[in-house]
């Protein structure tokens, strides 16, 4: 790794962000007729016409535009886009009777699914807190606080700790099995950690700090594998490992068998999730002003597993998932895992100092910019073969939105700048 290489990679990322990625969304996303954002685009960047606005896509979009504005991009236009999204979120997706945000509306803003899914509520806290930090508009943190309070009232498991995930409109817990009411997940708790981090950054309130510390401790002691330090996807209420299944409303429709149970359902971990968890934990420790050494063992295990088993040194990029002990199950290349390991490997190199993390970053950087970016359009292909041939070809839908891609490039530039300054 040389200063010249750092400068080259930084310039490549900056060019991609400012000439391709942000323009893709700035030219297409705003729904000027109905409010909110259009989030479904085909491989040519054309609106593919799905009549839905999901909580996850709207909140992730708000986060993207607010955070990119906060990072100094867009000349104010991204702040206007974020404000446009917040207007829609509060007006059309907030439940005036029971509180919280509905899971899905149609394009006109009519409610299609009124359930309260904690994964979506976590992104509401995340994006609204980021929005206030980026713009100063206090509506964001006002509604972020409301959602946080609802989670503490209705969602916390007072017996075993942690948060349940799947609720009806009135915050009654859904049933077992595919309804999801008897499960807890890595995903929800990891995203609550990032949400509470940004909420605490915004408010500096002791209760938000305390709940952030609680969810970090849960992740490290209950959710990450006790030996390998890798993420376990699903649990029963008492934190016993549960076979990973597909839920009715969300999750994993792409990689499950017909009976809704995942292959290797009790022994699988995502390289992308492990790297994402580790860098989000680092960011939380920064906001909390807690030394990295407090969780150094956890960080080393999460990062090293992703590098040692997840990186494809032959074809480039990072695999989808494998066993905790190291066997690779899925050798395809999915967009969001690449995005998260870009940030994670730079943090690992910066903090742990091992050259293998820089080599891993360089590997994924080249794979993304040479193969995964659809350069004529500006966004990333969602799923590719191991060799880098597109399997899925849409540029965006409710689950493949701008949050991972834009965040990865913005945050990678920030970390490359730190390394350049250090050099």
Domains and CATH numbers, the chain: 54-225+234-267 (1.50.10.10)
Token match 């950087």: residue?
Answer: 365
Listed residue (263, 236, 89) closest to 157, CA to CA: 236
CA distances from 312 to 230, 272, 331 (A): 18, 13, 8
265 pLDDT above the threshold of 90? no
**Contacting residues for 41 by C-beta, under 8 A, at least 6 apart:** 28, 47, 48, 379, 394, 395, 396
Q: In the predicted model, is pLDDT for residue 261 greater than 80?
A: no
Instruction: Please name the residues in contact with 22: beta carbons below 8 A apart, sequence gap of 6 or more.
Output: 68, 73, 74, 78, 406
Residue 350 has pLDDT above 80, yes or no: yes
DSSP state of 116: E
Strand-pair partners of 321: 270, 330
pLDDT, position 2: 87
Tell me which residue of 363, 385, 255, 384 sits closest to 311, measured CA to CA: 363
Q: What integer pLDDT is reported at residue 252 of this predicted model? A: 47
Residue pair 55/102 in contact by the 8 Å Cβ criterion: yes
**Sequence-separated contacts (24+) of 247-250 with Cβ below 8 Å:** 247/166, 247/178, 247/179, 247/180, 247/183, 248/178, 248/179, 248/180, 249/103, 249/113, 249/115, 249/117, 249/166, 249/180, 250/56, 250/117, 250/119
Q: What is the mean pLDDT of residues 91-117?
A: 98
How many helices and strands in the chain, by DSSP H and E?
13, 13
Residue 392, beta-bridge partner list: 383
pLDDT at 251 exceeding the cut of 60:
no
Whether residue 423 has pLDDT greater than 80: no
Q: What was the pLDDT predicted at 262?
A: 53
**Distance from C-alpha of 423 to C-alpha of 409, rounded to nearest angstrom:** 21
222, 214 in Cβ contact below 8 A?
no
Q: Tell me how far apart the alpha carbons of residues 255 and 408 are, in angstroms, rounded to a whole number.
A: 24
Instruction: Give 245's pLDDT tier (boundaries 50, 70, 90).
Output: confident
């Amino acid at each position: 790794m040389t200063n010249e290489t750092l400068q080259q990679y930084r310039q490549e990322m900056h060019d991609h962000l400012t000439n391709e990625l942000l323009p893709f969304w700035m030219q297409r996303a705003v729904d000027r007729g109905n409010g909110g954002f259009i989030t479904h685009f085909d491989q040519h960047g054309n609106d593919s016409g799905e009549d839905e606005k999901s909580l996850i896509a709207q909140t992730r979009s708000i986060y993207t535009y607010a955070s990119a504005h906060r990072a100094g991009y867009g000349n104010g236009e991204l702040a206007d886009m974020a404000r446009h999204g917040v207007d829609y979120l509060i007006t059309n997706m907030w439940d005036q009777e029971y509180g919280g945000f509905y899971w899905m509306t149609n394009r006109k803003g009519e409610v299609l699914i009124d359930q309260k899914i904690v994964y979506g509520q976590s992104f509401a806290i995340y994006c609204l807190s980021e929005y206030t930090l980026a713009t100063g508009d206090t509506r964001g943190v006002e509604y972020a606080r409301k959602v946080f309070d609802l989670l503490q009232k209705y969602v916390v498991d007072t017996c075993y700790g942690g948060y349940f995930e799947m609720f009806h409109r009135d915050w009654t817990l859904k049933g077992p099995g595919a309804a999801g009411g008897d499960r807890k997940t890595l995903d929800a708790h990891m995203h609550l950690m990032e949400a509470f981090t940004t909420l605490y950054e915004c408010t500096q309130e002791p209760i938000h700090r305390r709940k952030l510390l609680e969810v970090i401790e849960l992740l490290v002691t209950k959710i990450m594998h006790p030996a390998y330090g890798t993420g376990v996807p699903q649990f029963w209420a008492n934190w016993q490992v549960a076979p990973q299944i597909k839920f009715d409303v969300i999750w994993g429709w792409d990689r499950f068998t017909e009976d809704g149970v995942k292959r290797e359902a009790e022994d699988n971990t995502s390289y992308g999730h492990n790297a994402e968890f580790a860098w989000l934990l680092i960011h939380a420790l920064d906001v909390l002003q807690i030394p990295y050494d407090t969780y150094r063992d956890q960080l080393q295990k999460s990062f090293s597993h992703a590098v040692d088993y997840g990186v494809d040194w032959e074809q480039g990029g990072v695999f989808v998932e494998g066993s905790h002990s190291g066997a690779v199950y899925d050798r395809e290349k999915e967009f969001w895992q690449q995005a998260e390991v870009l940030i994670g490997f730079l943090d690992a190199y910066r903090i742990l100092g091992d050259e293998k993390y820089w080599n891993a970053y360089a590997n994924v950087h080249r794979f993304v910019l040479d193969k995964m970016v659809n350069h004529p359009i500006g966004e990333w292909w969602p799923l590719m073969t191991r060799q880098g041939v597109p399997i899925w070809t849409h540029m965006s839908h409710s689950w493949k939105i701008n949050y991972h891609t834009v965040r990865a490039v913005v945050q990678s530039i920030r970390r490359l700048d730190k390394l350049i300054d250090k050099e």
